[in-house]
Structures are given as C-alpha cells and as structure tokens.
Structure 1
Amino acid sequence: MKISIITVCYNSDATIEKTILSVACQTYKNIEYIIVDGNSKDNTIEIVKKYETIITKWISEPDQGLYDAMNKGIAIATGDLVGVLNSDDTFKSNTVLEELAQFHSSNVIDASIGDIIQHNDKNEIIRLYSSKNWSPTKLSIGFMPPHPSIFFKRDLFDKYGLYNLSFKIGADYELITRFFLKNRISWKYSRITTTSMLVGGVSSSGYSSYKLITKEIKKALKMNGVIFSSWIINTRFVWKIIGFVKK
C-alpha cells in the first residue's frame, strides 16, 4: 500500500525542515512525498532541494492559495491513500504511517479519521483534538474531525471532486461534508494520533477568522443539501466550551 503525503507551503523556511524530517523518519517506507510550494521568496526551496532524495515530487509556482496547492498535489499523487501534512506540522511519531497502513489493510474503508495534538510555539501541548466521539451528523452543527488526521483513498477525489476554491478557509469543511455526509463514504476511527500541529493556522486565528469560517460552514452545508440551524452554527463555540468542561 502506497501512501501519498502532501505538504503545501509558502515562505516556510522556519518550519519545513522539521516537517520533511518527520516524513523521512517514518518506519513505513512505501511513501510518496509531494511538496507543493507557492513560489516562496525565502529559503524554502533551498531546504526542499537539500532533501530531494526524500521528496518524491515537488513543484514551485504561483497558486491561488492553500486549497489550490492541495489540489495540485492530489492531481499528481499516485498512492492508494492520501494525507496532508502542513508545512509547520510533524507526524506525532515515527510509526504513524506504519500504523495507518496496518489499519487500512485490516479494514475495508474509504477513509480513516484519528486524533491530533495542538501545541504552541514553545512546544507546549495545549489540546488533544480527538475524533473519538465524532460522526458525520455533527457536520450539521459545525463540527468536523481534525483535517490532518484524515487519510482518504485516492480514488475518492476522482469520484467526488477536489477542494472547492470558492472557499477561503472552509474548503476542507466542504469537502468533508461532501464526502462523509452527502456521498456517505465508508470510514472508521483509527485511534491513531497522527499529527502534532502548531496552533495559529489560517482557520484558527481570531474573531475575524471565526466569523468567516462560520459563514463558510453554512455555505458548505447549503451546497451539499444539509439541513442545519444557523443559531447552532453561530454559537458552536459555546458547545465546545461545555464539552471541555464536561471532560
């Protein structure tokens, strides 16, 4: 089973070497590693070239943003499974991909979902973001599994399409809604903590981003014919807080 890992980046010279090395250190070796760079102006490409024996394919050219770059990576991927590793994130352990390969070999599924940990720039863990209690119906109230923990069969993108570029920060929510809820792909919770993720990404950086992602969640649900309550979507942060307090 070949696993394609896609890293998209732009001016990521401060973090991308750790990301590349976390792929290189995997005990599982049937990996296709693809880097899609948005024509970086810093030293990102020099670092990428340093690890050309590890990287299967890389491109550097202007793009329309994060999701356009992801689509480019998927278009050239040839693996049985596809996963995304952001350019400031790392795999949680050296055995993550080996564990995922075993899990998919043991289960007839289209996708697996898992857990991630989030840390700050001091490398202090501030959250375990788990899929344990998630189900596709929770998309209708504004909750999705952590995107980096999801590994999809490659042919799903041919059947159901790529990331929708009309979204600024919510294309992952729309794609997950389209795959899991509209088209009802088969899936299973892997219990694998796949990724160590640096907080402060494009969809988690303040009130303005919260307003935008709220708007785009509603747009994603409407596009896929999902009935939802605007009030619940607008106040979903309250339910998150309640969930944390209960835990």
Structure 2
Amino acid sequence: MDQPLVSVITPVLNARASIDGVIRTVMEQSYPHVEHIIIDGGSEDGSVEVIKDHEKRLAYWVSEKDEGIYDAMNKGIDAAGGEWIYFLGADDRFYNKDVLSSLFDERPTPKTVSIIIAKVILPNGKQFKCRFNGSIIFKNTLHHQGVFYRKTVFEGYRYGMIDDNTFKHYKISGDYDLNLKLYYDGAEFIAADTVVAKCGDGISLEGRLSGYLEEILIRHRYVRTPGRIFFDMLTALRFFYKKAIRRRILV
C-alpha cells in the first residue's frame, strides 16, 4: 500500500520553552514517512539554539523575519516535499505516537480527497470534533490542528492572503478563508474518528476582536447571498456573549 510523505510544518516565534517538545512529538511518531519543517520568525529568546540542537532530524528550518504566522506557513508549504500538509504549533503535541500511522498506514486515501478532518483536545481538556458541512458558513468548524491538507490544495493559493495585490495577511483567521473556499469548491474530504493532537493555548484573548472581524470579511468574500448578513449578526452576538462571559470570570 502506498504510504504518502506527510510534511509537518511548525511556525515559531520566541517559543524556547516549548519548541523542544514539538520537535520530539514529531520524532516519536511511529509512521516512517514524515518530515518536519520549522519556520522561525526571528526568535530572540534562545529558540534558534534549541532548533539547531535538533537540525539533523529536521527536513528544513530557517530563522528570519516574516510578515506573521501565515507568511511563515506559506514558507513552510513552499519547502514541503510531502503529499500531505499538517500544521503543528510550538505549543501543540500529537495525541500519541501512532496518530500518523492510524491515518496513513492503515487505510488508503483516494486521490480525489483534498482534506482529512479529525478530532483534537482543546486547552481546557474538552474534545473538539471537526465538521465540514454547511455550518462552516456560520463559523470555522475545523480546528487548525485537526486538519490535514493535500498539498495540491495550495497550488495557486497563498495561505492567509487578504489581497493578492497588496500582499496583506489575516492576523488570525486565515485558516477560515482556506476552509470556506474549500467548502464552496466542493472539496472531497474524509472524517477520521481519531484524536490527532493536544492543543496549546494559541492566540491570546487580545486578538479575539480581530478574529471576529476577519470572519465577517472572509464570509463576504465567498458567500454571495443576502443571507450572509444574518450570519454576520450571529458572529457579532457571539463576540459580545463571549466578551461578557470573560468579564464575568474576571470579576
């Protein structure tokens, strides 16, 4: 059975405390056909020294200033040699050593399939099941660490790019842009009943408003019907509801 190469891409910026752990979680995978690519955005906290300690185990790494996380992801995609792309943050870990084997070693994946969706464990310990259906119009129903993309998905597409002419990037919601595009393109997918990762804290609460605004912008990019205004209102309500909950917790 054909065993595809999986490219695991890790964008890094000042993550000295966690970078060693993410390198080891990839190294420990029982699946033999995996490469690890690290794109460091010019860390100044000692992250680069940790990366250098493991560089023989990495397929590629670079440390240089970039335009943000999606710029780093695009660099990783360009460097990737795998048939499948997976993004694993410095604070994230594979759920166990057999995650990739369970997805790519035990079952063939039809060439028509563009994405594989699965489950993740959130920072609060709850399980999140990715869904790829009409509910994605309301909000992003795919967790970044719960999706594997066939590399051909990125042909002619730059991750997180708002405008191809201005080269502006989303701050938070670039994955929603990609996932909504794939949904409207009618991308074929497989839903695996597998927990693939334990997720770190990710983006701080300070960036949440930007995320909701980007969500509305992205929806207007792909949803052409007047009904999108209804979903925009629900997005706004979601923001204010979660803001109120956070204030209540802090009081």
Spell out, residue by residue over 1:200-237, the C-alpha distance to the aligned partner (whole angstroms, 9 max, x if none). x22xx33x533221111111111123542221222246
Q: Is 1:24 the equivalent of 2:27? A: yes
Is the 1:103–1:190 contact (alpha carbons within 8 Å) kept by the matching residues of 2? no
AA aligned opposite 2:235: I
| Match in the other structure for 2:129 | 130
Taking the aligned partners of 2:22 and 2:192, their CA distance within structure 1 comes to 22
Is the 2:159–2:175 contact (alpha carbons within 8 Å) kept by the matching residues of 1? no
Taking the aligned partners of 1:90 and 1:234, their CA distance within structure 2 comes to 32
**Aligned mate of 2:98, from 77, 95, 99:** 95
**Aligned mate of 1:141, from 134, 138, 141:** 138
Going from structure 1 to structure 2, the CA distance change for 1:51 and 1:226 (only over 3 Å counts) comes to: farther
Taking the aligned partners of 2:142 and 2:193, their CA distance within structure 1 comes to 12
Taking the aligned partners of 1:65 and 1:106, their CA distance within structure 2 comes to 32
Is the 1:142–1:236 contact (alpha carbons within 8 Å) kept by the matching residues of 2? no
**Aligned mate of 1:218, from 216, 219, 238:** 216
Going from structure 1 to structure 2, the CA distance change for 1:53 and 1:41 (only over 3 Å counts) comes to: same
Normalising by structure 2, what TM-score? 0.84
> By how many angstroms is 1:162 displaced?
2.8
Going from structure 1 to structure 2, the CA distance change for 1:157 and 1:192 (only over 3 Å counts) comes to: same
**Aligned mate of 1:187, from 186, 189, 192:** 189
Taking the aligned partners of 1:149 and 1:103, their CA distance within structure 2 comes to 18
Spell out, residue by residue over 1:95-124, the C-alpha distance to the aligned partner (whole angstroms, 9 max, x if none). 0111121366244411101111023xxxxx
Q: Is 1:35 the equivalent of 2:28? A: no
| Match in the other structure for 2:175 | 172
Is the 1:37–1:60 contact (alpha carbons within 8 Å) kept by the matching residues of 2? yes
Taking the aligned partners of 1:226 and 1:130, their CA distance within structure 2 comes to 28
Going from structure 1 to structure 2, the CA distance change for 1:187 and 1:41 (only over 3 Å counts) comes to: same
AA aligned opposite 1:231: M
Going from structure 1 to structure 2, the CA distance change for 1:143 and 1:191 (only over 3 Å counts) comes to: same
Is the 1:140–1:226 contact (alpha carbons within 8 Å) kept by the matching residues of 2? no
Secondary structure class of the residue paired with 2:11: strand
Aligned length: 227
Spell out, residue by residue over 1:139-174, the C-alpha distance to the aligned partner (whole angstroms, 9 max, x if none). 211132111110011111005443314311111111
Is the 2:70–2:169 contact (alpha carbons within 8 Å) kept by the matching residues of 1? no
Taking the aligned partners of 1:89 and 1:226, their CA distance within structure 2 comes to 36
Taking the aligned partners of 1:159 and 1:152, their CA distance within structure 2 comes to 14
Aligned 1:1-247 pairs, distance under 5 A: 1-102=4-105, 105-108=108-111, 109-119=113-123, 125-131=124-130, 134-164=131-161, 165-179=168-182, 181-199=183-201, 201-202=202-203, 205-206=204-205, 208-227=206-225, 228=228, 229=230, 230-236=232-238
Taking the aligned partners of 1:103 and 1:156, their CA distance within structure 2 comes to 23
Secondary structure class of the residue paired with 1:99: helix
AA aligned opposite 1:234: A
Going from structure 1 to structure 2, the CA distance change for 1:36 and 1:104 (only over 3 Å counts) comes to: farther
Deviates more, 1:106-115 or 1:42-51: 106-115
Residue segments in structure 1 that go unaligned for 5+ positions in a row: 120-124, 240-247
Indicate the percent of aligned positions where both proteins have the same amino acid.
Answer: 26
Spell out, residue by residue over 1:188-207, the C-alpha distance to the aligned partner (whole angstroms, 9 max, x if none). 211111111112x22xx33x
> By how many angstroms is 1:49 displaced?
1.0
